[in-house]
Each structure stands twice: as structure tokens, then as C-alpha cells.
Amino acid sequence: MSKVKVTKPKSSSLDVSWCLNLLKKNYPDAHCALNYTNPFQLLIATILSAQCTDERVNIVTKELFKKYKKPSELAGEDVLVIEQYIRSAGFYKNKAKNIKACCQILKEKHNNLVPKTLDELVELPGVGRKTANVVLGNAYGIASGVVVDTHVTRLANRFGWVKIVDAVKIEQKLNAMFDESEWIMLPHYLISHGRAICKARSPDCESCFLATRCPRKGLS
């Protein structure tokens, strides 16, 4: 009587270290997709990135940053003028209002400088934990927490690391799962993979280097 082949059940989640090593290997050039040259520019670009592609934000900020070099300049601008610069970034009225108010606080309270603490950043109009983490990690090299965007949310759930969609709770989970030294770059690796292979509507599981252990292989 021939032996029955026993197939080991697939794990409910991807091994963290194994996955991270492969992401690093396959995306060695992963980086923040927003164009900036200083913390102020990154802050404004990240505020603009809400519900907007990084590509569109980079088009908008190219002209915006030519005219406005520091917070005090945007703080003193008419909000209607700011709206015209950022109109194509979506939700431009609310974003323009937040940008002006944010820059006013930077001018009056922070001497035209972007603060280096999470608590101070989230007090600024238009700035939540995600934006604060982006600025601290990429502009200052301060690991305040894993940035959680739509790509990170999708992949963290598909990989079985979390079963939630609340960004703050996902950040807390990932912060606990990964060493602090990985917090800044982890989202860049996940975002790169989310854009290249593990897309929202049509993930290319057949080409995925994580497929052998992924609990959601074959997801339609």
C-alpha cells in the first residue's frame, strides 16, 4: 500500500525575518517617493499626499517649492493663492487651509523649523501619526514608528501579520514585530512590493518571490 503524501499546511502568516530579508534583497533602492530637499518640503509634500499619488504630489510641489522656500512665506500667503498651486492634488481647499495654518505655527512657535518630536508634529494642522512618522524617519532619521499607508495596510493583512485595518493599531503591531532599526525602511520595502507585485486588484502571485510561504497566494 503506497504511502499517502502529507502536505504540510501553509502557515497563517509570513515569517517576519525571512520576508524582510527577501524584500531587502529585491528592493535595494527602496526609498521615499516624495521629492524633497529639507524637512519643511517633506512635511508639505506628505500633507499633500493624502488621497493623492506621490507622482502627482511631486508635480505640484515642483512649482510650489520654487516660490516658497520656508514656512513664513507660505504662512503669509493668501489661502486662495495656495489653492491654485495645489488644486490638482485633490481636496485642495482643506489642504491649502491646513498648509497655511501649519506654516503659521512653524513660523510663530518653532522659528520656521519643523519640530523633531511626534507630539509636536501631530499638533500641526493636517498632520497625523503617518505624516509625523514620515517626516521624522525620512528627514531626521528618527524611528518614531512604522509608517502605515494603504500599501502597508494591504500587505500586512495579506501576509497574516495583522487582521485589522486601523492604521494606529497596525503601526503598534508592526512596531512590536520588527526591531526599531527596521521601522524607517520597512514601509518603503512594503510599498515597493505593493506597487510592483502585490497590487490591490490584481496581485501577481505567480511572479512573487514570497509566494512559497504567503498565506494569501492565489488571491484574486
Write phi, then psi, for 218 (nearest 5 degrees). Answer: 90, 5
CB within 8 Å of 148: residues ≥ 6 apart:
130, 156, 167, 168, 170, 171, 174, 187
User: Among 11, 49, 27, which Cα is nearest to 190's?
Assistant: 27
Q: Yes or no: say if 174 and 187 are a contact pair by the CB < 8 Å rule.
A: no
| Catalytic-residue membership of 204 | no
61 and 41 Cβ atoms separated by less than 8 Å: yes
Rg of the chain, C-alpha, whole Å: 20
Q: Is 130 a catalytic residue?
A: yes
Nearest to 92 by CA among 76, 105, 109, 80: 80
The most distant pair of C-alpha atoms in the chain lies apart, rounded to whole Å, by 85
Q: Which of 130, 163, 169, 173 is catalytic?
A: 130
Kindly list the distances between the CA atom of residue 50 and the CA atoms of 17, 44, 87, 150, 182, in Å, as whole numbers in the listed order. 30, 11, 13, 11, 24
- Considering the candidates 15, 149, 199, 204, report the single residue annotated as catalytic: 149
Cβ neighbours of 108 (radius 10 Å)? 12
How many CA atoms lie within 13 Å of 192's alpha carbon, on the beta-carbon side?
Answer: 18
Residues marked as catalytic: 130, 149
